[in-house]
């Protein structure tokens, strides 16, 4: 059997003009998950990242734990990119079209975080409904096709007993886990909200078919003295 470790990126720069960049804490998380991976498994035969900066930064930090043991070169593929949350928000409400306008809109809210989550959930539900596909640069069905295409390509590439690390985002991880578990789209988004930064999801390939071996493993950040490293953005 071949094995795929899906690693969610470290904490991004939520609330900043450029979300797609690790925070200082995110860099630390990436280093910690690298040591966690190195303690439990040998170096991978294949390393893939999405093309987003936070994916590449997470991979760069994490792979340092393997020293010169990494023989595989890192491949970047847009198949593993996250959905465009800003475009989804903007299609739902023009006041949420950019990070700056979102921040301005939420400035007067009594509970900005709660207000944002309510609007985000409604925006995602609208996108996933499939009724407004023309409003988005990438529809929900196109997103699913892209991610599953990336998984199929990787599955065909891996030989028996080989291992791959994929540094990606919560959306692709949730989508692949959904397919393995057979849960509906509502449960998928609930799952997505629980994925921690630099959590590890393990997929086992048997006769080319993916099976979920573990979901969102984050023992690297467990313990009272490590609470600050347990984040979700």
3-state SS class at 182:
coil
> In order of start, what are the domains of the chain with their CATH numbers?
2-82+144-229 (3.40.50.1240), 84-137 (no CATH)
Percent of the chain with pLDDT over 90: 76
pLDDT-derived band at 187 (thresholds 50, 70, 90) equals confident
Report the length, in residues, of the chain. Answer: 233
Q: How far is 107 from 27, CA to CA, in rounded Å? A: 28
pTM given for the model: 0.94
With a cut of 90, say whether residue 69 has pLDDT above it.
Answer: no
pLDDT-derived band at 160 (thresholds 50, 70, 90) equals confident
Backbone angles phi, psi at 167, to 5 degrees: -100, 115
Q: How far is 13 from 78, CA to CA, in rounded Å? A: 20
Kindly give, in sequence order, each residue whose CB lies less than 8 Å from that of residue 105, ignoring residues fewer than 6 positions away.
Answer: 93, 95, 96
With a cut of 70, say whether residue 17 has pLDDT above it.
Answer: no
Residue-wise pLDDT for 135-152, tens only, equals: 999 999 999 999 999 999
Q: Which residues on neighbouring strands pair with residue 220, listed in sequence order?
A: none
Arithmetic mean of pLDDT over the chain:
93
With a cut of 80, say whether residue 72 has pLDDT above it.
Answer: no
Q: How far is CA 46 from the centre of its chain?
A: 18
pLDDT-derived band at 76 (thresholds 50, 70, 90) equals very high
Q: Are 29 and 197 in contact (CB under 8 A)?
A: yes
With a cut of 90, say whether residue 15 has pLDDT above it.
Answer: no
Q: Are 19 and 102 in contact (CB under 8 A)?
A: no
Backbone angles phi, psi at 169, to 5 degrees: -125, 175
Structure-model confidence comparison of residues 186 and 195, the more confident one: 195
Residue-wise pLDDT for 110-142, tens only, equals: 898 899 999 999 999 999 999 999 999 999 999
**What is the radius of gyration, based on Cα positions, of the chain?**
18
Dihedral sign from CA coordinates of 200, 49, 1, 193: positive
Per-residue model confidence (pLDDT) at position 87: 96
């Amino acid at each position: 059997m071949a094995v795929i470790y899906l690693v969610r990126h470290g904490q991004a720069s939520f609330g900043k003009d450029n979300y797609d960049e690790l925070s200082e804490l995110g860099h630390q998380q990436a280093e910690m998950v690298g040591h966690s991976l190195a303690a439990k498994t040998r170096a991978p035969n294949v390393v893939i990242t999405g093309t987003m900066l936070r994916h590449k930064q997470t991979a760069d930090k994490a792979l340092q734990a393997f020293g010169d043991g990494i023989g595989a070169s890192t491949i970047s593929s847009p198949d593993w990119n996250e959905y465009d949350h800003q475009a989804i928000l903007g299609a739902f409400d023009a006041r949420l079209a950019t990070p700056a306008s979102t921040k301005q809109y939420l400035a007067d809210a009594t509970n900005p975080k709660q207000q944002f989550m309510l609007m985000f959930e409604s925006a995602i539900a609208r996108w996933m409904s499939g009724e407004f596909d023309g409003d988005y640069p990438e529809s929900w069905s196109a997103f699913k096709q892209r991610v599953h295409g990336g998984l199929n390509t990787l599955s065909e590439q891996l030989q028996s007993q080989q291992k791959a690390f994929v540094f990606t985002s919560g959306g692709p991880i949730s989508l692949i886990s959904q397919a393995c578990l057979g849960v509906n789209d509502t449960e998928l988004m609930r799952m997505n909200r629980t994925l921690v930064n630099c959590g590890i999801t393990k997929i086992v390939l048997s006769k080319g078919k993916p099976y979920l071996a573990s979901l969102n493993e984050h023992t690297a950040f467990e313990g009272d003295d490590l609470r600050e490293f347990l984040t979700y953005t």
